Structure 1
Amino acid sequence: MRFSSTVAFPLAANLLPPLASAIRISPAPNGALLLRDSYDYIVVGAGIGGLVVANRLTEDPSVSVLVIEAGDLDDRGEDVSIPGSVGFEDPRRYEVKLTMTEQEFLDNKTRTVSQGKAVGGGTIVNGLVWTRGSTANFDAWERLGNPGWGWSGLLPYFRKSETYSTRDHDISACKIPVPVHPVNGKHGDQGPVEVGYPNYYYNQSDNFLDGVQQLGIPVNEDPNSGNATGATVVPSSMTQKNQSRSDARTAYLDPALGRDNLHLVTNHTVTHILHNSSGNAIASRDTPIVNVTGVEFASNVTGTMMNVTCDKEVILAAGAILSPVLLQISGIGPAQHLKDLGVNVAVDLPGVGSNFQDHPTLQPVYKYTAPDVFSVQDIVGATRDAVREEYLANRTGPWTTPMVNAVAFPALSWVTDNFRELLDEAVNTTSNLPSSYDSTLRAGYAAQKNETLCFLSRTDTPTYELMSTSWGQLAVSAMQPFSRGTVLARSSSIFDNTQPIVDPRYCSNSIDCKLLLLGIKFNDHLIATSPMAALMPVPPPGFGTADARNETSLDETMRAMITTGFHFSGTTSMLPQNLGGVVDPSLRVYGTANLRVVDAGVIPLLPGAHTQATVYAIAEKAADIIKAGSSDAFPGAKS
């Protein structure tokens, strides 16, 4: 979760690691890029999926990899590196703004969402929250037709990706508000991404965690152990020693400096996936019909179009929005939409751009008015100078703490006594899927819905996430959404798709809004607890206790506030074809011989968690699958 501000931060020289210039391709004097004639692997996108795969494949010096990224290397400024700067970054630096379609099931208005555009992708600008979800979330992936992708199959890769550190309680006066005790065997100690805890907590974190416990939500001392429910201090993707952001670039690209078999092109956009296709064919895993030969790319719409060929595979890692768009304009996707775009159909694959999922989220602010409250909003002027000096000198103080670290993940039965009635209603509520969904997508949704209903009935899988900030935001997210949307290319040119047609269709299944309404009412109970009442919270307009009595008015106010949880997924789902899938369990695109997708789009069913840890694990597993060279091989990982 993030909030916006126009505050910009100066650079801190001691936070700047060396740039990846040793492997970055620069233009020659004539403007051409000094590429090899071909590469074994071409990776499209330098976010989590792309950088993890590129790093792991080039561990073999005989393997050549080219990564093409539309963004640039970040400059490691304070607004990027410092946890306390999360949400204050200048959005013009490493983000692109996307506008969703009007949300007809909310208030008929659009929403704007930002996406990371830099080497490292969203990990350069995200909120650092490091959660995995529950065992049940991933075991559902396996039941949906993906052998090897359950909790036990992914746990080695969760561990492989991280170096998890609990803070030393003896080195600081900082007190963690609730106990943190990692479960043995569930965490990594040698992975590239550093995961840790801040050296500072706002007092409001104690109030929040004490308050939710008074309402019956127990403490969870390790929310990443497979049981995600409970009140907790979540770990963050940050270095324990330096108290700075740990992102995909620092974790997986910078350590690969000097490998002459890994090349990176920045500020260039892949415009087409090139292939030799017979056209108008039906996708099949057993008899692939399309062989990918490489990619076409350019710096901008007027730039020179360049081609580069692959000897083995193209790996698409452009994210859950742009990966399906690139597939569609390259002739792989739902046939009718491709024809409407004027694109020749290479593979008729209805699931490309469908099964779109997100965590619908509310961000009401219950302003704390108690005179002794100190929040991030008080860090201005001389106070900001002092906070900055403390951070740079000692790596302590408020700048070490991210925007969100005190959270609760309630099960449905912990929030309402009427959960069985709600379950019955969820069973019988009309799914209201997009009219473009064919029979396979509808069958896939029916299977997903059954799994989601099971999640709501459990106490180890959260229905909600409640996120507390120092200034009074009590964000509510629906962790097991029933609604589904679409992502469609706007035209046949990638440069016309800087604003693709993004429609999450929030609350198209009405049960999602019913669940969110319960979450808002839970907030009313929360701010009435003695620990929270001590902060003297003032609810936002329309969310006070008196307003809550008028459920119709409260619902209208809530719908106008619902927005993205920044957890887009599912648009290139790993599912069987008869369930609307786009990739098989080896992440190979159906109907192709050598094209894979490695990003959040392959997630078949959104886990009840933030998604970055999951995508790191997916990419680590993908790298092993690719190395094994067999779609049927799912090797274990060292951890």
Structure 2
Amino acid sequence: MEFDYIIVGAGSAGCVLANRLSADPAVSVCLLEAGPEDRSPLIHAPAGIAAILPSRHVNWAFQTVPQPGLGGRIGYQPRGKVLGGSSSINGMIYIRGHRNDFDDWAALGNEGWSFADVLPYFRKSETYHRGASEFHGDQGELYVGRIEPHAITEAFIESGQCAGHRYNDDFNGAEQEGIGQYDTTIRDGRRWSTATAFLRPIRATRRNLVVLTGALAERVVLEGKRAVGVQARIRGSSVTLKARREVLLSAGAFGSPHLLLLSGIGPESELKPHGITVRHELPGVGQNLQDHPDVVASYKSPDTSLLGYSLRGSLKLGAALTRYVVSKRGPLASNFAECGGFLKTDEKLARPDVQLNAVVAIIDNHNRTLHWGHGFSCHVCVLRPKSVGSLGLRSADPAAPPRIDPNFLAHDDDVQTILKGYRMTREICEQSPMSRFALKDMYSAGLDSDEQLIELLRRRTDSVYHPVGTCKMGNDENAVVDSQLRVHGIQGLRVVDASIMPTLVGGNTNAPSIMIAERAMEWIAQD
């Protein structure tokens, strides 16, 4: 089979590319996804995240190498393996990052990536629940709205103000700092993934778009220094698909560099031990892995309106399920992480350096460790970690997972930042508006010294699922793509996903990944 464009990965960026490219009926597009169709009800009911997150259901469920900064523990890295990619299994929080994050990209020599440059592309994809404004759009496929908050969500926001933090009604507006409710990619009680927003409405009517699920990309096919197709395993057989114009990698911060390495594009030191012929030496492939280290403060509560496990809670859950089936409203229409904040651990900072995500349930070990009873949690993550990791090969087998080393808490500044953020979170939870929930600290009660808390943080910190940077954009020796996302030294090949971020944005990465695809489309069309 032959197409004009082949897109590898139907995730946050890939579905957007498929939509925009196939809008031209003269262009043929093939979208490859290793996972299945997005038919699982756990995807579409927002509360289904509680079951998807800890399982291998539509989830790659990767593991890291042992992390010295986390006491030698092996970390967990869930990623979407389904149409919609990680937008089909994420927390549905719509955050773009701080405006200065994108100005940083431009300052590094990446023309066209300042905040002023990218804002129109954020607005293009968005239908904002309050309508259009300077910062928001109302004509896009991606619905961005608000859910009906739980009482503890409102109490947390009020407690944040009692603790001295400003209220923020729009984290994607003029200012990011403050405490407030999150905008979410939930519409009428259903997850609004990129597959739902960008792919489903056009898939049946655009005959120039072919979507292949269960298609594991094995390598990019090269003729000299030009990408001419993709070899993929489909229904047990290796098939070569030809691309007349370009191959576009949108397999994410783990999948895209992994495929480049399997194709012989990367550092010789990584390829040679696995018997892979070097087709193009590119030392930055897999380097510059950045992710938000995150710790969860967990609390028990006697309040059974909070999500949890108990006899009374089971009765309430049954009623909530009936309500959701009938009206798509109630607790199961929530992403559970309804509010949070962007705070500065030092007032001298130019922008927030920690993010909080308040959750109306006990979340422990990525929801893999369950507790009897009910409670509340709050994620605390370091927004701009100085610890940098890498991705490499475990094997030349395309079905084998990559070697993932985020190098969490290797830099002492990250340790100090997460420590300060954890203390700030405890202070918020101790304010009077939260007292009605009688919260009982599950892990840090009685721990007050820095040494005690740091030991706890190293035992409990892990990813909050925002890996980026492994196909870095730029012009230095470790850059993988240029500012128009073309792979250095290879024609007809681009990377279009979160892996191209030269630095990690201060916030969730789904919205920026969608923007990256919107931004890239202009250059793809020009070429």
Common fold by TM > 0.5: yes
- The amino acid of 2:213's aligned partner reads T
Aligned to 1:266: 213
What secondary structure sits across from 1:609 in the alignment? Answer: coil
Picking from 203, 226, 242, the partner of 1:291 is 226
After TM superposition, list the pairs within 5 Å mapping 1:367-386 onto structure 2: 367-369=300-302, 372=303, 374-377=305-308, 380-386=313-319
Q: Distance in 2 between matches of 1:505 and 1:323?
A: 20
Aligned to 1:560: 459
Picking from 346, 370, 391, the partner of 2:324 is 391
- The amino acid of 1:129's aligned partner reads I
Q: Distance in 1 between matches of 2:90 and 2:289?
A: 20
Instruction: Provide the identity percentage.
Output: 32
Count of aligned positions? 509
> Does 1:207 find its partner at 2:155?
yes
What secondary structure sits across from 1:547 in the alignment? Answer: coil
Query: Which is strand-richer, 1 or 2?
Result: 2
Picking from 487, 502, 506, the partner of 1:608 is 506
How far is the alpha carbon of 1:408 from its aligned partner?
1.1
- The amino acid of 1:44's aligned partner reads V
What secondary structure sits across from 2:340 in the alignment? Answer: strand
User: TM-score if structure 1 supplies the norm length?
Assistant: 0.77
> Does 1:147 find its partner at 2:111?
yes
> Does 1:317 find its partner at 2:281?
no
In 2 relative to 1, CA 119–411 (structure 1 residues): closer, same or farther, beyond 3 Å? same
Aligned to 1:485: 389
Q: Distance in 2 between matches of 1:628 and 1:380?
A: 57
In 2 relative to 1, CA 86–304 (structure 1 residues): closer, same or farther, beyond 3 Å? closer
In 2 relative to 1, CA 304–85 (structure 1 residues): closer, same or farther, beyond 3 Å? closer
> Does 1:81 find its partner at 2:81?
no
How far is the alpha carbon of 1:44 from its aligned partner?
0.8
What secondary structure sits across from 2:283 in the alignment? Answer: coil
How far is the alpha carbon of 1:231 from its aligned partner?
0.6
Aligned to 2:195: 249
- Deviation string for 1:216-262 (max 9, x for gaps)? 110112110252111111100011xx221101111111121221110
After TM superposition, list the pairs within 5 Å mapping 1:350-361 onto structure 2: 350-361=283-294
Q: Distance in 1 between matches of 2:115 and 2:217?
A: 34
- The amino acid of 1:227's aligned partner reads E
What secondary structure sits across from 2:66 in the alignment? Answer: coil
User: Structure 1: where are the runs of 5+ without partners?
Assistant: 1-35, 167-181, 278-289, 420-456, 630-639
- Deviation string for 1:421-466 (max 9, x for gaps)? xxxxxxxxxxxxxxxxxxxxxxxxxxxxxxxxxxxx21xx221111
Could you tell me whether the CA contact under 8 Å between 2:231 and 2:241 is conserved in 1? yes
Q: Distance in 2 between matches of 1:559 and 1:382?
A: 37
Aligned to 2:442: 540
> Does 1:233 find its partner at 2:181?
yes
How far is the alpha carbon of 1:373 from its aligned partner?
5.5
Picking from 579, 590, 594, the partner of 2:488 is 590
Q: Distance in 2 between matches of 1:325 and 1:92?
A: 20
In 2 relative to 1, CA 139–605 (structure 1 residues): closer, same or farther, beyond 3 Å? same
Aligned to 1:176: none
> Does 1:187 find its partner at 2:136?
yes
Aligned to 1:127: 91
Aligned to 2:146: 197
Q: Distance in 2 between matches of 1:76 and 1:594?
A: 35
Q: CA RMSD in A?
A: 1.7
Could you tell me whether the CA contact under 8 Å between 1:133 and 1:226 is conserved in 2? no
Q: Distance in 2 between matches of 1:163 and 1:245?
A: 14
Aligned to 1:339: 272
What secondary structure sits across from 2:19 in the alignment? Answer: helix
Q: Distance in 1 between matches of 2:5 and 2:92?
A: 30
- Deviation string for 1:118-171 (max 9, x for gaps)? 0110111111000111111111010011111111111111011111104xxxxx
Could you tell me whether the CA contact under 8 Å between 1:87 and 1:403 is conserved in 2? no
Could you tell me whether the CA contact under 8 Å between 2:226 and 2:490 is conserved in 1? yes
Could you tell me whether the CA contact under 8 Å between 1:329 and 1:491 is conserved in 2? no
Q: Distance in 1 between matches of 2:436 and 2:132?
A: 34
Could you tell me whether the CA contact under 8 Å between 1:49 and 1:598 is conserved in 2? yes
Q: Distance in 1 between matches of 2:13 and 2:265?
A: 21
Aligned to 2:365: none
User: Structure 2: where are the runs of 5+ without partners?
Assistant: 361-374
> Does 1:47 find its partner at 2:47?
no
- The amino acid of 1:468's aligned partner reads A
- Deviation string for 1:272-301 (max 9, x for gaps)? 111122xxxxxxxxxxxx11111111137x
What secondary structure sits across from 2:67 in the alignment? Answer: coil
Could you tell me whether the CA contact under 8 Å between 1:586 and 1:622 is conserved in 2? yes
- The amino acid of 1:375's aligned partner reads L
> Does 1:573 find its partner at 2:467?
no
Q: Distance in 2 between matches of 1:520 and 1:345?
A: 46
> Does 1:304 find its partner at 2:304?
no
Could you tell me whether the CA contact under 8 Å between 1:116 and 1:124 is conserved in 2? yes
- Deviation string for 1:400-424 (max 9, x for gaps)? 221101101102225xxxx6xxxxx
Aligned to 1:620: 518
Could you tell me whether the CA contact under 8 Å between 2:64 and 2:76 is conserved in 1? yes
What secondary structure sits across from 2:30 in the alignment? Answer: strand
How far is the alpha carbon of 1:380 from its aligned partner?
4.3
Q: Distance in 1 between matches of 2:452 and 2:331?
A: 38
User: TM-score if structure 2 supplies the norm length?
Assistant: 0.93
Could you tell me whether the CA contact under 8 Å between 2:13 and 2:497 is conserved in 1? yes
> Does 1:466 find its partner at 2:356?
yes
Q: Distance in 2 between matches of 1:475 and 1:48?
A: 23
